[in-house]
Structure 1
Amino acid sequence: MSKRKLSRQQRWRIEKIQAERAARAARHDARDQDKLEAGAYGPERLGRVIAHFGRTLEVGSTTEDRTYRCHLRANLDALVTGDHVVWREGSDGSGVVVARGERDNVLERPDARGQLKPVAANIDQILIVFAVEPVAYANLIDRYLVAAEATGIPPVLVLNKIDLLPEDGGKLHELLQRYEMLGYPVVTTSTQHADGLEALHRQLTGRTSVFVGQSGVGKSSLIDRLLPDEALRIGELSSDSRKGTHTTTTARLYQLPAGGELIDSPGIREFGLVHLDERQVTEGFIEFREFLGHCRFRDCRHRSEPGCALLAAVERGAIHPERFASYRQILDSLDDDLR
């Protein structure tokens, strides 16, 4: 579709509106600076963004157990939950964020226009939650693992509702062993047992974590048990569709009683692959990496090309055939999305 041509008057009006907005932002920033210089704000302090509401932030102090409602300096880039910041407290108990610290990483997801949007920062691990019910499919788990690998944030697999497992563990037990052999940490949990969350507590302590996973696997129930003092709503599992519903509406960082933090948000839970290309998907299968670059043809797509290093690895058992089939299924779904 060609761009609509604007008349000279329309261009002038757009430029005028943009100039007025810039001037308002500059005046707002100047007022902040005047207050800072006049001593209306206290000394610089370190904090972390607990939640984000437009240009207003909830910032947690690193020196005391409380939060402050702060506004954002006009010259700062957008902040997200989990960002480390420098802020100054005002005489009325509010504050102003004056700087953002360096990010170790940032978790992004595509918005409605397909543009990547940051939703959380400085995360130590992504916990991929799946459950005995609804049924955990290997391809779905692989999709979450690929998406996690693309962020550079270590993933952890969490099997919930283990009280529903058969005594021998069934096929899920075999599936977990396959991922453990690849080097992925695996944690099993249940909210029905008194000690069902001990392994999960150990995995979370001292780290900043996020939960991802399909609806109905019990993410909100786990968070409710991990944070007993927080009033979190829990989405019920539909008795008909056996699917759950999202209940959290904004990204928020929670302090865990035993130490560490947990960031919860639907924007994080809805974790997909639409923003990844074929190369990123291929590299997201960690056991493929040692074979990449060794195919006969540089543009090998690992389908049926002669001299394909991945296909040869599958034939001799170095790559599990079901993982390779899952990989091909993901690539095919990307091709379908582009049609």
Structure 2
Amino acid sequence: MGTKSSGVEEKAVSGMVVEVAGASYLVEDDGGVVYRCRTVSATRSANDDESLVAVGDRVELRHSVSGKEMPEAVIVSVEKRRSQLCRKRDLRRNRSREKIQVIAANIDQLVVVVSAFEPPLSQRLIDRYLVFAESEQLHPVIVVNKMDLDEDGTAKGVMQLYEGLGCHICYVSACERTGIDELRDILAGSVSAFSGHSGVGKSTIINLLLGEERLKTSETSIKTGKGVHTTSRSVMLALPSGGRVIDTPGIREFSLSGISRENLRFYFSEFLPFMPECAFSSCSHTVEPGCAVRDAVESGLIQPSRYESYLLLLESLEEDD
């Protein structure tokens, strides 16, 4: 039931946040109508984190019927998220009081976009994303772009490690438009958040999936490997073949959120079969005697590069604490 105020009818509407730009939000209701929204001090959230509203959130609105081109509304409540992509803010670069930034909410898949060349493929970044995906129980997809520049097969050689871990790898060349159909099939029917370094081609790939230029990209040729996309906000877009994708701003570093030094070991899936054989149930797999995980590394059952990533992440979490 609507209520009357100053001759203008206010209605309760449910919808999904499809774009966040600063303190302004676009929300699409269940009938496809898009509202320009804001929050107020009375806005309620069922979530405990510091980010009040993120792309993908289900929200309730109160809006006033008006003759404006885009109706305006106030977000009165935010529903509980079933999953989220978030990271720690670098407080040295960001003056926000929020320590944790939720980039996308209610997602099914985390699409990690890397490039075969310029910027160089970063295993450490991939490992950070995989740890986070494990912690949030998200299905990870690794998209390797600029495969037209991988002339000696270096990138494919590196990715064999992740294929061995059971990760879904999709090799793409946005320049030559190869691998896009396979990726489109992977994304169909799911809500997928794209994330990765600036310049890897996230926005270009999404434009190809959409079949039109919806997102801005740099004017520099992707072929040169020097293109840097211009995404400055998070935005959700519907794919023609079904499913939705969320383009997120490029990052310099993905700082893990919600993961402690004590539980990090549980998010390296190849550690799990060996952990019960450790001499200590609380083994950190660093210096303890009788560590089955370190024995597996020495015998080649666990890749040394992944163990090195674990140690580096463990050290970084200690510094964060």
Range into which the TM-score falls when normalised by the shorter chain: 0.7 to 0.9
Q: How does 1:1-339 map to 2 (within 5 A)?
A: 35=4, 40-42=9-11, 44-53=12-21, 56-64=24-32, 66-72=33-39, 74-77=42-45, 78-92=52-66, 93-113=71-91, 115-134=99-118, 135-166=120-151, 170-235=153-218, 245=228, 247-266=230-249, 270-273=253-256, 276-334=259-317, 337=319
Q: Which structure has the highest helix share of the two?
A: 1
CA deviation after TM superposition for structure 1 residue 139, in Å: 2.9
Equivalent AA in structure 1 for residue 14 of structure 2: L
How many angstroms apart in 1 are the aligned matches of 2:263 and 2:219?
Answer: 35
Would the alpha carbon gap of residues 75 and 144 (structure 1) be closer, same or farther in structure 2, given more than 3 Å must change? Answer: closer
How many angstroms apart in 1 are the aligned matches of 2:228 and 2:283?
Answer: 41
Equivalent AA in structure 1 for residue 194 of structure 2: F
Q: Which structure has the highest strand share of the two?
A: 2
Bigger radius of gyration: 1
**What residue number does 2:95 align with?**
none
CA deviation after TM superposition for structure 1 residue 203, in Å: 1.3
Would the alpha carbon gap of residues 321 and 123 (structure 1) be closer, same or farther in structure 2, given more than 3 Å must change? Answer: same
Would the alpha carbon gap of residues 271 and 139 (structure 1) be closer, same or farther in structure 2, given more than 3 Å must change? Answer: closer
- Contact map agreement 2:110 2:195 (CA 8 A) in 1: yes
What SS is found at the alignment partner of 1:279? coil
What SS is found at the alignment partner of 2:236? strand
Equivalent AA in structure 2 for residue 59 of structure 1: V
> What are the Cα deviations for residues 233-278 of structure 1, in whole angstroms up to 9, with x where unaligned?
2136699x96554511222211222221111222778522376432
TM-score normalised per structure 1? 0.76
RMSD value over aligned CA atoms? 3.2
CA deviation after TM superposition for structure 1 residue 89, in Å: 4.4
How many angstroms apart in 2 are the aligned matches of 1:325 and 1:112?
Answer: 24
Equivalent AA in structure 2 for residue 271 of structure 1: F
Would the alpha carbon gap of residues 63 and 218 (structure 1) be closer, same or farther in structure 2, given more than 3 Å must change? Answer: same
CA deviation after TM superposition for structure 1 residue 49, in Å: 0.7
Equivalent AA in structure 1 for residue 157 of structure 2: E
How many angstroms apart in 1 are the aligned matches of 2:64 and 2:212?
Answer: 29
How many angstroms apart in 2 are the aligned matches of 1:237 and 1:252?
Answer: 23
Unaligned runs of 5+ in 1: 1-32
CA deviation after TM superposition for structure 1 residue 325, in Å: 2.8
- Higher deviation after alignment, 270-279 or 109-118: 270-279
CA deviation after TM superposition for structure 1 residue 222, in Å: 1.2
How many angstroms apart in 2 are the aligned matches of 1:193 and 1:235?
Answer: 17
What SS is found at the alignment partner of 1:102? coil
Would the alpha carbon gap of residues 149 and 266 (structure 1) be closer, same or farther in structure 2, given more than 3 Å must change? Answer: same
> What are the Cα deviations for residues 25-62 of structure 1, in whole angstroms up to 9, with x where unaligned?
xxxxxxxx9647987124x4431111235664311122
- Contact map agreement 2:110 2:194 (CA 8 A) in 1: yes
CA deviation after TM superposition for structure 1 residue 232, in Å: 2.2
Would the alpha carbon gap of residues 211 and 301 (structure 1) be closer, same or farther in structure 2, given more than 3 Å must change? Answer: same
> What are the Cα deviations for residues 190-226 of structure 1, in whole angstroms up to 9, with x where unaligned?
1233443111111122111111222322222212322
What SS is found at the alignment partner of 1:234? coil
How many angstroms apart in 1 are the aligned matches of 2:63 and 2:80?
Answer: 21
Unaligned runs of 5+ in 2: 46-51, 92-97
Equivalent AA in structure 2 for residue 107 of structure 1: L
How many angstroms apart in 2 are the aligned matches of 1:270 and 1:246?
Answer: 16
TM-score normalised per structure 2? 0.80
- Contact map agreement 1:216 1:237 (CA 8 A) in 2: no
Equivalent AA in structure 2 for residue 129 of structure 1: V
What SS is found at the alignment partner of 1:76? strand
- Contact map agreement 1:210 1:268 (CA 8 A) in 2: no
